[in-house]
Amino acid sequence: MLHVSGTQLVADDNTPVRLRGVGLGGWMNMENFITGYPANESSMRHAVRSVLGEERAELFFDRLLTSFFTEQDADLLAGLGMNCVRIPVNYRHWESDERPCEIDPRGFRHLDRVIGLLGERGIYSVIDLHALPGSQNQHWHSDNPTHVAAFWQHRHFQDRAVHLWEALADHYRDHPWVAGYNPVNEPGDLTGKVIGPFYDRLVKAVRAADPRHILFLDGNTYATDFSIFREMYENTVFVLHDYALAGFAHGGPYPGYTRGEWCDRGELESTFARRSRFQRETGTPLWVGEFGPVYTGDPDVDAQRYKILRDQLDIYDGQGAGWSLWTYKDVGLQGLVHAAGPYLDRFGDFIAKKRRLGVDRWGSTMEESADVLAPLHALVETESPGWEPYPWGARYQTDDLIRHILMAQALLPEYAELFRGLDDGELTALADSFLLDRCVRRQPLLDLLADNLAPR
């Protein structure tokens, strides 16, 4: 079982272990750009259930969980030389809003299976609660149908999160291939005043249930602000996220300018130094919980994105930092592999429509439907020039409200209708499109990672 020793993670025999791997996004916490639906997960599931009914919707979603990660996926990651998978999960697998604080043990079934597959191959798991009751941040990936992170406004939601983590920690307390717990992904506490006391409370509760596993704690404002920590907890990694501006969908050339900001190797290095200052000043381990560019399909642009990734990995190597690349498998934007077959045949045109409208926050260039939205942005800037909403300002907030919430939610019925009329075999075939042997491998990315992870 791993533990923290100064700036390193070490095994029981004090051998240093640098965790390097990938995030299993879109699996037990589904995301719109990863599996091709619009809006947020719970809204999507409700729309699909309205078409398929409860039992047949469960058939599809359970089969998707089974097919999305199997022995073959674990073999691929082990073959690349990875020793860690960060596993995002949604609280709804264990608890419903209708029956708060009642833990459903069925939530452990798939998570136990995958943690076991990885452990058999010498790969550690970091369990990442990506969606908390009430939503801990303002965006779709916390299963948030609004732009309000209500988790920080209601003690009730916080109580439920602590209770869930007590159950998770008790369940995995003796598992040697669980590296630890990442209890709050990318928190977005608007005030910055609630998160510190909440972490104090959460750490005590988890330690009471499981005194040995490492805690991986994200900083506030999407794992970038560590000023909220009031004390240094033992056996803890303070997790930073390190997405490069030039690697976003709207990123410019690399090296070059993105929205007026220069980005090159030197800028990546200085950005990482700034984002990791807290860890270096406190003498705690460096671990990048998320990072990685998105890909466009344009060979010239994607070659620049690979260069960004190569430079970031080189910077992390130079600092001895561990990392977890986002993300393993999707429908083509960012994954090491992406689905093909019946799922893309069925939903490909819809995914293209989403891309044309820019309704997925992750993957939007922020220029889609510019003829309609540009006047709205101009109106907001003219009438409310001092408006700087948390977390990223007026331009992003307007896009989130109009494009990524309103327009995305309006597309939910269209997505769900694509399931209508399918028999059980066809639903199974859709889910099985995510089996590794039916996926397309992003070979340049796999080669890049294998080269970085190769023993020196």
- Mind telling me the catalytic residues? 186, 290
Peptide bond before 38: cis, by omega within 30 degrees of 0? no
Nearest Cα neighbor of 47 from 429, 308, 451, 414 is 414
Region of 244 on the Ramachandran plot (φ > 0 left; ψ -120 to 50 alpha; else beta): beta
Q: List C-alpha distances in Å: 256 to 143, 241, 293.
A: 34, 22, 15
Length of the chain: 456
Task: Read off the amino acid at residue 160.
Answer: R
Pairing of strands 287-290, 236-241: parallel
Write the CA distances from 210 to 175, 205, 226, 288, 442, integer angstroms. 11, 9, 24, 24, 39
CA 204 to chain centre: 25
Q: Are strands 236-241 and 84-90 parallel, antiparallel or unpaired?
A: unpaired
Q: Which of 229, 312, 323 is nearest to 263 (CA)?
A: 312
Task: Please give the structure tokens belonging to residue 256.
Answer: 């070059």
CA distance 198 to 383: 37
CA dihedral 313, 314, 317, 321 (to 10 degrees): -40
CB 335, CB 327: distance < 8 Å? yes
